[in-house]
Structure 1
């Protein structure tokens, strides 16, 4: 979610708008609250589309469909306006992540999760079909995962069953490539069987992490849907037969949603989300609640400020009219003015805010982010971006004069090096100040500090030929931050990856403070947690780095092979949890440092690492 922008409305109908949920091709979606206190998702059609008959017809279908369907597996319509200048629709707000985001972040579902998903989607489609509708755009992004099961949203292109074609008047495909049926891709009439095909495609994605029809372009995918066999080899055997039946080319050969529901009941696995998915759902709900509370507080402050300013104007008019009271009330006028002018709430900037969760910061794909943001705009890519042993990503480019440039993104730079007031450039992006750093004739860096996932520095360094590298670094950082306000690319990590974990949730904080002294100061960056005292410190790192067996002394810790390095006042023990590629591996390392000479550093590191290993996911 993002804060409201100055150009955004504060109200739509009787719904007080709180935040921006997102933006799509049809319009902007806000989180709002009704007069009764109910949270709603309010979709406002873009002004340039409001007068388009085709888009208005689609919008009106969504309103009608939403009012026809009010069951437990969809989002009910709460309110709407058909104002030709400003049409909008308010539906029940479901504080839940979509299936696409969950699978991308957590990996494919196990059989129990697939059973719950299949049963829930079949029930939702049964409700939609009983209303005489066909959804026509069932895809992972339109499936929200709640603790109880899936919910289907976005009935914007649903249609009453009728023998119409699948193309609009302009020849635009209605539906999402990869999840459309053969009859949709060929412009033939749709039916409830159309949604069953999409159901099969969604289940394949949830089971494998990819759709059943591969392809790099829409025409290629649509051709595969119409003529190629689906790839369902990764779907669990007990579900594969049902999925294959749903993906039959002939609509008449597909099962009904009632038959799908019956088939899911025969699966023996308990219908439940995997634990990481439940945690993801809980985190999304907590994040939504935080945004709602924060936005409502801000709205109340703004209301109070407006009320103060109104009273101030009334007071000044009264002062002008009552000469005898001028001297007595002038001070009150000044006080009111100062109160109104120092509310502590700055005017919002004209760009979206940088808001990343802790999970997004840990799994952010810096290489993909640099490539999609800078390649072509700041130079021609010479080689693929590369991740170093510290997790930073570098992208080599050639500028217009064929001179080499290298951009490096560090997620989790030390705040002590970043939060230096004298290095504040005075510029902002994503509602955060831009900080400068060390600069030389051919290298310069710029940084911003994220807030929503904890204070974490994003530092972008530009290195190249003689010139103003600081200007280039700042422009590149602005481009990267603006990309993150729209879409944060995440790494496709396996379930057992250490990089998914919160280090401070794995480290025994109490034992660490027994070493550092209480209270030990806690600090964290995405893959490290540090507890520090006056003379001692403990650090846990869960990182992908050079394999420890290449440079550290091998030893045993209970039944685990670990590696040790003891230098001066620091003892480090490392456990190689998972080799990745080449000389790299995912490593859990505990370092204990002590300047007093009173701590048995390696013994304490062994104790802490033993606890850490017991909490790591098993491959």
Structure 2
């Protein structure tokens, strides 16, 4: 999810919008909060599509179709408006990832997970077909996973069994090639058996990580669907018979949803999601909870600001009335030039959201960000930048009144690494994000925000001034300017092609290797440049950054690994501590600095092989670095 943009609605019907879930060719999906406290997923059609009568009629049909479907394994319709300039549909929000996302992040599913998936999808089909509908677009992206089972969503191209208006061009095929039935691929009339075929393809993908009709291009995929036997060799035996029956070319040979449910129930495996899947589901649930909590805090703050604004407007009207009376009574001698009235409150300059990608965070230029953001309000920079720490930069600024202040911007951690590390809310807001801060006033002041996209990154601005005075207002004003710059035009470092700064550290280690070495099935992004894996016995981190040159700073013993020189510090050999750190210099940059790869490996128990494990990770990473 990411924050609402300046063009996103803040209210649709009775529902207050909280965040953007996603966007596609037909519209945006927003997370909404109803007056009853219920979360809803709101699909809002793009305005240019809403002007197309054919598309609008199709959307009305979707709303009508979705409203007929109920059941534990579908997302029910909550509200809609099909006649507005931007029509929308609100359904129950499922706080879980799509099956597509889960398989991409955790790999093929266990037999118990497959049983739960098959039983849930069969139950959903029973309800869909009972309403007289054929879904027509069942695919992993349209199946969300909650803690107790799957949920089928998106009836965007559902058709009533008894027929209806043809809302697509003659000869066109709607659906997802790898998961559509042969009869749908040929454009023949569909029966509920078409959805059963899709379920078979989905189960095979969940069991193996790939479509049973995989091909290098869409025509080849469609040919395989029509003429080739499905590849089910890697589907677990107890599930293979179910999948192959669902994937029969002849619709009459496929099981009914009721028969599919009975067959899934006979599998001897506990119907539960694997631990890695439950972790991904929990992460999505905490993500939506965070958005709701943050938006509620912001709404309360806005209400307080609006109340203060109205009170001061009333006070100003009273002052203006008193001044008019004074003029009428001969008080004009005061002179307008001697009577200055200021509002005393600030209004937000923008509502732009910060939604940088991981690569944009990693290649951000903190010094340019600092100067470009603060020069307008705090004067010119005096002296050089100080940027000895990666992701941070500081400088002094002097304004026209000769006021001198020192500012430092720091791009910090992400995700769970921020939990419990933040100070209390300061009461201020920047770019729809609440500010955190330790103190309300002082000659030095720190202010943070946590961006609301993925990855969630902390942005801190520290301010100092000599002598007496409160610098916290300057820190808050400066942080707002920094956030505005990040939202509109974030400056990037001028990096050469062989730089590693743009690489995603989490993508450099295969899930299988990480699991083998640490027991961790999932990684954790702890900063834009660092990734962390932690299992029951071991843990390790991988960082791509700029730091001191290892060949000049004595960061371990030089060691040859696959023809490259890495500097290895084995704490077990020195201190009998099960920790090891490997540092590799990719290229020198400036003075005594270099782009480096750091791998820190450790164990929760007494283990002398941490460096051997670290070297295995290094070998994998080295092969993927720019030459």
Whether TM exceeds 0.5 here: the answer is yes
After superposing the two structures, state which structure 1 stretch, 53-62 or 156-165, moved more.
Answer: 156-165
Unaligned runs of 5+ in 1: 328-332, 357-365, 374-413, 433-447, 458-468, 506-521, 531-538, 554-562, 577-585, 592-603, 614-619
Matches within 5 A, 1:379-458: 416-422=389-395
Query: What does residue 262 of structure 1 align with?
Result: 262
Q: Residue 50 and residue 420 in structure 1: after superposition, are their counterparts in 2 closer, same or farther (change >3 A)?
A: same
Query: What does residue 346 of structure 2 align with?
Result: 341
Structure 2-normalised TM-score? 0.63
Residue in structure 2 matching 1:590, options 568, 583, 602: 602
SS at match of 1:44: strand
Q: Separation in 2 of the partners of 1:99 and 1:203?
A: 10
SS at match of 1:30: strand
Quote how far apart the aligned CAs of 1:54 are: 2.7
Quote how far apart the aligned CAs of 1:283 are: 1.4
Matches within 5 A, 1:205-244: 205-244=205-244
Say if 1:112 and 1:271, in contact at 8 Å, map to a contact too. Answer: yes
Query: What does residue 354 of structure 1 align with?
Result: 356
Q: Separation in 1 of the partners of 2:4 and 2:24?
A: 16
Q: Residue 500 and residue 210 in structure 1: after superposition, are their counterparts in 2 closer, same or farther (change >3 A)?
A: farther
Over residues 413-458 of structure 1, what are the superposed CA-to-partner deviations in whole Å (9 max), with x where a residue is unaligned?
Answer: x9932211349999x9x989xxxxxxxxxxxxxxx9978657589x
Q: Residue 97 and residue 567 in structure 1: after superposition, are their counterparts in 2 closer, same or farther (change >3 A)?
A: closer
Q: Residue 306 and residue 355 in structure 1: after superposition, are their counterparts in 2 closer, same or farther (change >3 A)?
A: farther
Q: Separation in 2 of the partners of 1:415 and 1:503?
A: 32
Report the RMSD for the aligned CA atoms in angstroms: 4.9
Q: Separation in 1 of the partners of 2:508 and 2:295?
A: 27
Matches within 5 A, 1:254-293: 254-293=254-293
Structure 1-normalised TM-score? 0.63
Query: What does residue 29 of structure 2 align with?
Result: 29
1:188 maps to 2:211: no
Quote how far apart the aligned CAs of 1:40 are: 0.8
Say if 2:95 and 2:288, in contact at 8 Å, map to a contact too. Answer: yes
Say if 2:530 and 2:541, in contact at 8 Å, map to a contact too. Answer: no
Matches within 5 A, 1:326-337: 337=343
Say if 1:166 and 1:173, in contact at 8 Å, map to a contact too. Answer: no
Query: What does residue 616 of structure 2 align with?
Result: none
Over residues 126-173 of structure 1, what are the superposed CA-to-partner deviations in whole Å (9 max), with x where a residue is unaligned?
Answer: 100001001111111111111110010001111101468998216442
SS at match of 2:41: strand
The alignment of Structure 1 onto Structure 2 pairs a total of residues equal to: 460
Quote how far apart the aligned CAs of 1:21 are: 0.9
Q: Residue 72 and residue 133 in structure 1: after superposition, are their counterparts in 2 closer, same or farther (change >3 A)?
A: same
Q: Separation in 2 of the partners of 1:503 and 1:296?
A: 31
Query: What does residue 49 of structure 2 align with?
Result: 49
Residue in structure 2 matching 1:493, options 511, 531, 536: 511
1:321 maps to 2:335: no
Q: Residue 60 and residue 498 in structure 1: after superposition, are their counterparts in 2 closer, same or farther (change >3 A)?
A: farther
Q: Separation in 2 of the partners of 1:286 and 1:335?
A: 47
Matches within 5 A, 1:141-180: 141-162=141-162, 168-169=168-169, 171-180=171-180
SS at match of 2:177: coil
Query: What does residue 439 of structure 1 align with?
Result: none
SS at match of 1:188: coil
Say if 2:103 and 2:209, in contact at 8 Å, map to a contact too. Answer: yes
Say if 1:103 and 1:209, in contact at 8 Å, map to a contact too. Answer: yes
Q: Separation in 2 of the partners of 1:195 and 1:476?
A: 49
Unaligned runs of 5+ in 2: 332-338, 364-386, 397-406, 412-429, 433-448, 460-490, 545-555, 562-567, 582-597, 614-627
Q: Residue 523 and residue 95 in structure 1: after superposition, are their counterparts in 2 closer, same or farther (change >3 A)?
A: closer
Q: Residue 498 and residue 273 in structure 1: after superposition, are their counterparts in 2 closer, same or farther (change >3 A)?
A: same
Query: What does residue 518 of structure 1 align with?
Result: none
Q: Separation in 2 of the partners of 1:216 and 1:74?
A: 32
1:565 maps to 2:570: yes
Q: Separation in 2 of the partners of 1:298 and 1:281?
A: 26
Structure with the greater alpha carbon radius of gyration: 2
Say if 1:565 and 1:571, in contact at 8 Å, map to a contact too. Answer: no
Query: What does residue 540 of structure 2 align with?
Result: 541
